Structure 1
């Protein structure tokens, strides 16, 4: 199997799990041995956390076998939308991309 990358994992997750949003981060400094991910897929609907992770691990069994560490956060589209709507405000002084207290 070729080297595992953020892009290759993102593509595999999107195709195999019908994901509508995927974030993959190489936590190993670029050597491709440790990844963390956020996977948003309608296939997770009505599944508890353990079954969601089993679904992901089955879909990515070859990729996971080739790396050292793997972490996945699995959400349905509704859960993802709700989390984004209730996310804490940015600490960079902006609200919705605009500096608070200005008309910009």
Structure 2
């Protein structure tokens, strides 16, 4: 599941800098994907581009946006169920040339049972 930001967002921006994939943007900000610029997904609140979100799989054992969010508004999107394997493959595609460690407790929330 890609993570999304709920309406409870207080627009603090803590999540944006923490995202290892650059998937989080301020409300109204355009984003780039596959060499093309796209319209903002939210006009006022921070948002997460699902095609860039890996739930931090391959990077961290917990989702950094959720861990840092003071409003607890970064949550998994039940409309976008994805497996650990799918998310890890996306991380590899987003970061070509990077060597990823094997998935473990430190690099996948799935290994933590969360």
TM-score after normalising by structure 2: 0.31
> Rg larger in 1 or in 2?
1
Which has the bigger relative contact order, CA under 8 A and spacing at least 6? 2
Greater share of residues in strand: 1
Greater share of residues in helix: 1
